């Protein structure tokens, strides 16, 4: 199993635990109005599910070339780092924005979304040549 795939699968399992924990925490009556439902959804969809899909796809899809069966390694790592940095920003600023919205928090959520979009783009770039056919 290639290293980027291992990183994606390990991260996905961590996000699964955090996502399930957020599901429990959103049921608790906090003194502050924490709105964890969007965070819960992001943890499970982008954190767990997308990471697992990206990692397995990078590993299992048809070979790119004999020399580079999984395509350029930097694309897999770029996808991993962009997705996870975007997730971390979202996990930090989304709950804070629900308590006390600030321009910084709004900007960080935009940066988070852009990083996740970049992750989708680099994933597309790494997978498309492997499935387009000749």
Mean pLDDT of the chain: 90
For the cut 60, the answer to whether the pLDDT of residue 134 exceeds it is no
For the cut 80, the answer to whether the pLDDT of residue 33 exceeds it is no
Q: Is the dihedral of CA 110, 112, 113, 119 positive or negative?
A: positive
Q: What is the pLDDT of residues 97-109, one digit of tens each?
A: 888 899 999 999 9
Amino acid 70: pLDDT: 81
Mean pLDDT of 31-39: 75
Q: What is the pLDDT of residues 63-110, one digit of tens each?
A: 877 787 788 889 999 999 999 999 999 999 998 888 889 999 999 999
Amino acid 133: pLDDT: 66
- Give this prediction's pTM: 0.88
DSSP 66-127: SSSTT--HHHHHHHHHHHHHHHHHHHHHHHHHHHS--HHHHHHHHHHHHHHHHHHHHHHHHH
């Amino acid at each position: 199993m290639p290293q980027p795939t291992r990183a994606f699968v390990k991260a996905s399992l961590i996000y699964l635990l955090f996502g399930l924990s957020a599901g429990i925490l959103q049921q608790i009556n906090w003194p502050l109005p924490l709105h964890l439902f969007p965070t819960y959804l992001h943890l499970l969809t982008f954190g767990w599910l997308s990471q697992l899909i990206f990692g397995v796809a990078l590993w299992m899809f048809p070979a790119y070339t004999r020399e580079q069966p999984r395509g350029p390694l930097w694309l897999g790592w770029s996808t991993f780092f962009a997705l996870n940095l975007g997730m971390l920003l979202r996990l930090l600023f989304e709950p804070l924005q629900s308590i006390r919205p600030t321009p910084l928090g709004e900007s960080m959520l935009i940066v988070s979304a852009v990083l996740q979009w970049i992750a989708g783009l680099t994933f597309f770039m790494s997978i498309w040549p492997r499935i387009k056919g000749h």
